[in-house]
Amino acid sequence: MTAPILSLKNVNKSFGPIDVLHDINLDLRAGEVLCLLGDNGAGKSTVIRLLSGVHKPTTGEILMDGKPVSFANPREASDHGIATVHQFGGTFPLMSIGRSFFVGLEPTKGWGPFKIYDRRRANEIAVKAVQSFGITRIDDGDRLVGGLSGGERQSLAIARAVHFGARVLILDEPTAALGVKQAAHVLRIVNEAKRRGLAVIFITHQVMHAMAVGDHFAVLIRGAIAADFHKGEKTREEITDLMAGGETMATLEAEIEGYMQAHDGHPPQVASPA
C-alpha cells in the first residue's frame, strides 16, 4: 500500500470546555476516496475545518507526506494542495465562468501598469478544464455561474481545484442539495478526480452516494471514530446503523413495526379538543 498523503495523528479539538474531537486517526492516500460519515453534530465539519486551515488541532498533529504541517489560514492549506469545495461550490453567481474560475489568479496580458485581464484565455482554459470532467454542456466562458445547475457548479469548483494543482480534494456534502440526476453527475466527477490520482475526502449523509464512490469509510460518532473500514467490509445496513449511532436504526424500525401492528396500520390519534 502506498504511503498516505495526509494523516491525522491522535488529533483532539476542543472549543473552550467542549471537546469536539477525540483522538482522531485517519490516513488518506492518493487515488482514494475517503467517505466521512456521521450524523449532524458528530464532528465531520470540524475535521474538515482542521484540514482546510480554518481551525488548528488542540493536540495531535496533521502530517502531509509524512511531515507535520500547520495551517495558519485557509490560504496556506490551499497552498499545500488541499482544496475544499463547499455545498454550493463556493463560486460567485453573478460572475462569468471564466472570471470566477480564475478569481485571485487572473491571467493577464500586456506589460507594466497596463496589464489587462485576458478574458479570452481565461474563458478558454476554464471551459476546457470543465469539459475534461465530462461537462460538455458548458461551452461558453462568458456565461454567469448563477445560470448553471447545482451539479455543474460543483463540477466547476472541482475542476478549478484540480486545475490549480490540488492533491487533496475535500467535498463537503456536495450532493446534499441535488436531485438524483445531478448527484450522479457529481459522483462521476468524484470518480474522475480519483482516477487522476487525487485523494478525495467525501462528506455525506447519504450512504448510497458514499458506497457508489468510496474506497475507505470512516464513521464519526460524537467526535470519535466509531468505525474505519474499507470497501466491501460492511453492508449498507450496517453502515446506516453505524451512522445513526449503533443499533438505533434497527430499534427504531422495530418500534415503528410494533406500533403499526398494534394500531392496525393507523397513524397515531391526535387528542381532539373537547
Partner 1 sequence: MTSNSSIGGLLRRPEAGAFLGLVAVLIFFAIFGGVTFLKPAGMSSWLNVAANLGVIAIPVGLLMIAGELDISVGAMVPLGAMTVAVVSGHFGLSIWLGVALTLSFGVIVGLINGYMVIRTAVPSLIVTLGSLFAVQGIVLGLTVLITKSTSVALATEGPAKAIFGDFVLGGQLQAMVIWWLIVTAFYIFFVHFSRFGNWIFAMGGDKVSARNAGIPTERLTITLFVLSSTSAAFVGMCQAILYNSAQVAGGQSFIFNAIISVVVGGVLLTGGFGSVVGIFFGTITFAIVNQGIYYTDFDRNWSSLIIGVLLLLAVLMNNTFRKMALSYSSKKKGAKT
- State in angstroms the smallest separation of the CB of 137 from partner 1: 7
* Angle (CA) 4 207 253, round 5°: 140
Nearer to partner 1, 143 or 222 (CB): 143
Q: Which is nearer to partner 1, 114 or 232 (CB)?
A: 114
**Least distance to partner 1, CB of residue 169, Å:** 14
What lies within 8 Å, CB to CB, of 1 at 6+ separation is: 29
What is the SS3 assignment for 96? strand
CB of 99 to partner 1, least distance (A): 5
Instruction: Please give the residues from 116 up to 135 whose contact with partner 1 meets the rule CB under 8 A.
Output: 116-117, 120
Nearest to 170 by CA among 70, 90, 106: 90
Nearer to partner 1, 94 or 252 (CB): 94
Q: Decide: is 197 part of the binding site for partner 1 (CB under 8 A).
A: no
**Residue 218's closest CA among 86, 2, 27?**
27
Query: Rounded to the nearest 5°, which phi and psi values hold at 241?
Result: -60, -45
DSSP, collapsed to helix, strand or coil, labels residue 255 as helix
Q: Total number of residues binding partner 1 (CB under 8 A)?
A: 31
Q: Contact between 139 and partner 1 (CB under 8 A)?
A: yes
Query: Of residues 66-125, which lie at the interface with partner 1 (CB under 8 A)?
Result: 74-75, 78, 84, 90-95, 99-100, 102-106, 108, 115-117, 120
Q: Distances from the Cα of 133 to the Cαs of 127, 157, 257, in angstroms? A: 10, 11, 45
Our CB check for partner 1 shows the closer of 95 and 211 to be: 95
- CB nearer partner 1, residue 86 or residue 234: 86
Neighbours of 19 (CB within 10 A): 15
CB 85 within 8 A of CB 172: yes
Which residues make up the interface to partner 1 (CB under 8 A)?
A: 74-75, 78, 84, 90-95, 99-100, 102-106, 108, 115-117, 120, 136-137, 139-140, 142-144, 146-147
